[in-house]
């Protein structure tokens, strides 16, 4: 914003954001004025302090100069207090401004304007009417139980039982195995709660706190994804450039209030308050982030390929991207019962946006310190993958064939039999 305001405004306009130019300039002008006066007073006080030392060294009277130093000190303190308050006001103004999209992101206002990049697999043709995952799960000995979940916690929760619960666990273990064993990620176990500062580092707490579950009386929020704790590994840090790229993967429950989603996907496991996810996070040099984004997306796609689930890869338009993203791919898996592709992973390049909010930097070979780039993606959302497996692998007799890639993680079980 300070280096090239017109370009920033143009970028935000592509996201359909009307930036308050007058408000920003007013805050900046006041900041410059206060900062300049503060620095001027600091310089004057230092010069007078030296003068006091010289006078005292000569045995001369320094009282007049000391009085002047005292007067400057009072004004300086008032200025520093005003500057600190203004910096907080400026920070609050800026922290609700979204990231600027990369130039190659298509313009648009909604998901209707997203661009299909590629698709893999052919949706299966059934010789019977395919059931949705709710009915498939119910037929597997009550493997998906919403009634019990509702008794425990209310709507938008689920209890999994027996073979379905085992399949859910196998999916997470399979994903972690591939990402750590073949894709070069380090597995981490993280807290399921983060502070407000951590939450604001990856997104805007002021803007999206209604989407989070907060602990009463504590500055702690249940994580909506393990991106929140994992990305904050590098908060307030200067990483040695030789250590980059950093790649982490974590399996965790995720908690979302689903504010604003009333009436959407009320049936089944598509949009719950609690669900599991295997997350992929990378921290890289700026010149590596575009390539890393393609790589991370392919890592997530590989899971779908091995599970033999048809999917398509969508490049999101400017109006459908997340707050922090500079560029995002969504992976959409085929769900036979809905006769549609539905999101199962979102893979984003945030460039330096999150790093600047978190003060996450690295030192290059020349000793220069600069903001690193962060990326993340679902590799994959475990619950939605379970939904896709149950629907795509269902049989006419109500049983479900276990994908070959999962059989070793299921103790050799190749089929979930109907009750």
Question: DSSP code of 191?
Answer: -
Catalytic residue of the set 346, 348, 352, 399? 346
CA distance 44 to 39: 9
The answer to whether residue 285 is catalytic is: no
Pairing of strands 274-284, 246-255: antiparallel
Q: In what order do the strands lie in the sheet with 369-371?
A: 237-240, 360-363, 369-371
CA distance 294 to 303: 15
**3 state DSSP class of 194:** strand
Sequence-distant (6+) residues with CB within 8 A of 134 are 144, 146, 267, 268, 269
CA distance 153 to 299: 35
Q: Do the beta carbons of residue 191 and residue 230 sit within 8 Å?
A: no
Helix then strand then coil, in percent of the chain rounded to 5, is 45, 20, 35
CA nearest neighbour of 79 among 24, 31, 43, 47: 31
Task: Give residue for tokens 């009417």.
Answer: 129
Q: Do the beta carbons of residue 330 and residue 321 sit within 8 Å?
A: no
Question: DSSP code of 217?
Answer: T
Instruction: Please calculate the CA angle 348-353-359 and round it to the nearest 5 degrees.
Output: 125
Q: Do the beta carbons of residue 72 and residue 38 sit within 8 Å?
A: no
The answer to whether residue 267 is catalytic is: no
Catalytic residue of the set 37, 271, 306, 415? 271
Q: Where are the alpha helices (DSSP H) in 239-351?
A: 289-306
Catalytic residue of the set 256, 327, 357, 361? 256
Catalytic residue of the set 15, 156, 361, 384? 384
Token pair, residue 122, equals 């052919």
The answer to whether residue 169 is catalytic is: no
Sequence-distant (6+) residues with CB within 8 A of 152 are 159
Rg (alpha carbons) of the chain, rounded to whole number: 27
CA distance 94 to 159: 42
Catalytic residue of the set 257, 343, 356, 415? 343
The answer to whether residue 218 is catalytic is: no
CA distance 18 to 9: 8
Q: How far is CA 379 from the centre of its chain?
A: 13
Catalytic residues: 256, 271, 343, 346, 384
């Amino acid at each position: 914003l300070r280096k090239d305001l017109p370009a920033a405004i143009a970028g935000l306009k592509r996201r359909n954001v009307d930036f308050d130019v007058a408000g920003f300039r007013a805050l900046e002008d006041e900041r410059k004025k206060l900062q300049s006066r503060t620095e001027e007073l600091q310089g004057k006080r230092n010069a007078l302090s030296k003068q006091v030392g010289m006078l005292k060294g000569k045995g001369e009277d320094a009282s007049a100069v000391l009085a002047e130093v005292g007067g400057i000190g009072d004004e300086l303190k008032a200025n520093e207090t005003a500057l600190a308050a203004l910096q907080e006001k400026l920070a609050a103004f800026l922290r609700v401004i979204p990231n600027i999209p990369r130039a190659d992101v298509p313009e648009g206002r909604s998901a209707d304007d997203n661009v299909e990049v590629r698709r893999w697999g052919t949706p299966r043709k059934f010789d019977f009417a395919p059931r949705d995952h709710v009915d498939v799960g119910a037929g597997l000995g009550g493997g998906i139980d919403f009634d019990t979940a509702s008794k425990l916690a209310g709507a938008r929760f689920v209890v999994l039982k027996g073979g379905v619960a085992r399949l859910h666990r196998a999916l997470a273990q399979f994903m972690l195995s591939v990402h750590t064993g073949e894709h070069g990620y380090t597995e981490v176990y993280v807290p399921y709660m983060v502070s407000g500062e951590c939450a604001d580092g990856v997104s805007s707490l002021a803007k999206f706190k209604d989407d989070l579950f907060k602990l009463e009386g504590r500055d702690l929020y249940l994580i909506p994804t393990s991106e929140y704790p994992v990305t904050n590994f590098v908060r307030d840090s200067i990483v040695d450039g030789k250590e980059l790229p950093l790649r982490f993967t974590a399996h965790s429950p995720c908690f979302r209030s689903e504010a604003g989603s009333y009436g959407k996907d009320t049936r089944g496991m598509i949009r719950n308050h609690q669900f599991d996810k295997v997350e992929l996070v990378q921290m890289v040099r700026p010149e590596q982030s575009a390539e890393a984004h393609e790589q991370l997306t392919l890592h997530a796609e590989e899971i779908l390929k091995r599970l033999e689930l048809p999917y398509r890869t969508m490049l999101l338009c400017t109006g459908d991207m997340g707050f922090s993203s500079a560029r995002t791919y969504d992976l959409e898996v085929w769900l036979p019962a809905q006769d549609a592709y539905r999101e199962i992973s979102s893979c984003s390049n945030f460039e330096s946006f999150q790093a600047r909010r978190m003060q996450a930097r690295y030192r290059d070979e020349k000793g220069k310190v600069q903001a690193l780039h962060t990326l993340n993606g679902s590799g994959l959302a475990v619950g939605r993958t379970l939904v896709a497996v149950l629907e795509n692998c269902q049989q006419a007799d109500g049983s479900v064939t276990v994908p070959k890639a999962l059989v070793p993680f299921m103790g050799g079980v190749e089929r979930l039999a109907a009750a």
